[in-house]
Structure 1
Amino acid sequence: MHKPIAVLLTAGLILSGCSGWKTSGFNPKNWFGNSQPASAGDANPLMPPQRSGLLSRPEAEDLSVPIARITELRVEPTTTGAIIYAKGVATRQGPYATSLRPVSTPEQIADGLLVLSFRVTYPAQPTPVGNERSRTVHEAHYISKQDASRIRTIRVEARENALESRRR
């Protein structure tokens, strides 16, 4: 009983080795064909084009405003780029949806200057002013290594002031 099974297994292994691994479907190198150039229109055919319809929502209105003033700016390098940390003080309590938005002009970008606007959104209802600590907001923005290599100065702007950090 053991001898016929061993002979069949050996014969199967020998014959399968003759078929050629190079053209086998089990070879991971054969799972995809050779790469071919694609036009920009063919980049992602699975994403439908953006269109408006009966049930589509209108674009949300931007209610954000520049924060009152910036108190701290730090740029921390990472292995994949840099993280820009900013701390600011709002005019009243309750700001949300904070962001550091790039607002650089093409000329500023060519000169190696990245300008960010520190923006916050306030609630529609009036909120108390409170103390400075209760109005402090933190925000961060990531830039890639490729972008960071072209940037010499980072400037974050608020309503009352702006802070800059230059490359050493």
Structure 2
Amino acid sequence: MRRPLVALLVVSMTLSACGAIRESRINPFNWFGGSREVPADVDPAATGEANPLIPQRRASLFRRDENIYLGRPLDQVTELRIERVADGAIIRVEGIAQRADAYDIRLVPKPTDRQGELHFELQGEFPQVTSNTVRLPRPVVVATHLSDQELEGIRRIRVSAARNARESRR
């Protein structure tokens, strides 16, 4: 009976000591504390045109500069599929590149004067031609997603390449 009483006394004394530590800096839960309202830092150089929710890019040794896309039209468009999804459509294009070393294949939007039409061009980047460049044509596949808002009022989607174009109508 004596041991359980001593154990109960030790445990109760230990738990009562936790109340004193609860508010101290020793407790790791108090290191950052709750939030409080403070005045906003106003940048005097800001003109008000920039969106404060979009972070500005900073110069860094490890970040590459923004490169301009230097794609050229690929040879042919062999297939165009528009697959409906819950929030829009996926445009899936198969084509043929002139050479086997094409990379960074994209569907680049092109301006059109026709109402209700979207026009894309199948483009890819090619490295410089060297003595060991393989000149065999290569099939490529690329896809892009369009939301319902982007498809609103669109009746025709056209994808062009260097030698041909394919289009799909609703």
The normalised TM-score by structure 2 is: 0.62
Q: Tell me the SS of whatever aligns to 1:150.
A: coil
Match of 2:109 in 1: 102
**CA deviation digits over 1:92-115, x for unaligned, max 9?**
10111011011123x33xx10000
Match of 1:159 in 2: 162
Match of 1:22 in 2: none
Equivalent AA in structure 2 for residue 120 of structure 1: G
Which of 100, 113, 117 is residue 117 of structure 2 equivalent to? 113
2:131 matches 1:128: no
**The structure with more radius of gyration:** 2
Which of 83, 94, 97 is residue 90 of structure 1 equivalent to? 97
Q: Tell me the SS of whatever aligns to 1:147.
A: helix
**CA deviation digits over 1:1-51, x for unaligned, max 9?**
xxxxxxxxxxxxxxxxxxxxxxxxxxxxxxxxxxxxxxxx58841434468
Tell me how far apart the structure 2 counterparts of residues 145 and 54 of structure 1 sit (CA, whole Å): 38
Match of 2:149 in 1: 146
Match of 1:81 in 2: 88
Equivalent AA in structure 1 for residue 143 of structure 2: A
Asked if the contact 1:156/1:162 (under 8 Å) is kept, the reply is yes
Amino-acid identity (%): 41
Q: Runs of 5+ in structure 2 lacking a partner?
A: 1-47
Structure 1 residues 100 and 44: CA distance shift in structure 2, 3 A: same
Match of 1:66 in 2: 73
Larger helix percent = 1
The count of aligned residue pairs is 120
Asked if the contact 1:114/1:155 (under 8 Å) is kept, the reply is yes
The normalised TM-score by structure 1 is: 0.62
Tell me the CA shift for residue 63 of structure 1: 2.1
Tell me how far apart the structure 2 counterparts of residues 47 and 128 of structure 1 sit (CA, whole Å): 43
Tell me how far apart the structure 1 counterparts of residues 98 and 160 of structure 2 sit (CA, whole Å): 15
Q: Runs of 5+ in structure 1 lacking a partner?
A: 1-40
Tell me the CA shift for residue 124 of structure 1: 2.4
Asked if the contact 1:104/1:113 (under 8 Å) is kept, the reply is no
Computed over aligned residues only, the root mean square deviation of the Cα atoms, in angstroms, reads 2.5
Match of 1:25 in 2: none
